[in-house]
Structure formats: C-alpha cells, structure tokens
Amino acid sequence: MRGKITGFLREYFFLFSIKFTILGCIVLVIGITGMWFQDILKNMLGFSKETLNWSLYILILGFIVFGIGVYYLYSYITTRKFVNEELKTNKRSEFLKKHVEVKQKVKHLPSKYQKMLKEKEEELQIK
C-alpha cells in the first residue's frame, strides 16, 4: 500500500506542489486581508466576525502552506533540470562521474525519468 501511495505522489509531485503554492497564496491573501482590511471580507465575501478573529492564525497558516509549496516546487524543478542536463550528455566518461547522483535523484521523479535513465544507460552501455 505504501508503494502505491508513494508512486502516486511521485507521479503528481509537480501538480501537488503547484496546488500547495496556489492554496498558500489564497490563504495568505485572506489572512492579510483579515488582519488589515476586515470590512472587505465582511461586506464582500460574507465572512463572520468570529472567523475574522482567527485571521492571524490564517495568515500564519498561509505562510506555512505557501512556503512548503514553493520549497517543493523549487526542489522538483532543480532536480528535473539537473537530471535533464545530465541525460543530454553523450560522453560516457562524463555520465559515469555523476551516474550515482543521477540515479538517486531519478528515484524522486516520475517514472518517465527512470525510463529515460535506463535508455541512456543502455545507449552508453552502463550497468
């Protein structure tokens, strides 16, 4: 069961990190608006006074969710960029230098990149 969940999350990691970032932005804006512009949320969006009392906690939650989303989005993009650059090389010696690192990073990317790595290993005759 754990393998299925991990595989699912690995395949849609980029999508989830984008959704976390967007959700964090929305919660952050609601928290900021609730802290300083309470009339806007009351009149336009119908928020209650009790909800607006929690705006500081909503703001903190927004920072946390936004930070997590940006961190995972950044890590995914940098990992993908590194793997793509290393898989573009046609020199066996250069590829062997970073082969272990590429293998470790590919484990955290979608299965498409694992297939690309296997093809590159077959092309350069690496075991």
Burial 17-34 (b: 16+ CB within 10 A, else e): beebbeebeebbebbebb
pLDDT tens profile 35-73 = 787 877 777 777 777 777 888 898 999 999 999 999 999
Identify the band that residue 18 occupies on the pLDDT scale cut at 50, 70 and 90: very high
Q: What is the pLDDT of residue 120?
A: 87
Burial class of 44 by CB neighbour count within 10 A (0 to 12, 13 to 18, 19+): exposed
CB 32 within 8 A of CB 59: yes
pLDDT tens profile 96-113 = 888 889 999 998 899 899
Check residue 108 and report its DSSP letter. T
pLDDT tens profile 111-122 = 899 999 999 888
**Which tokens belong to 14?**
């980029």
pTM over 0.85: no
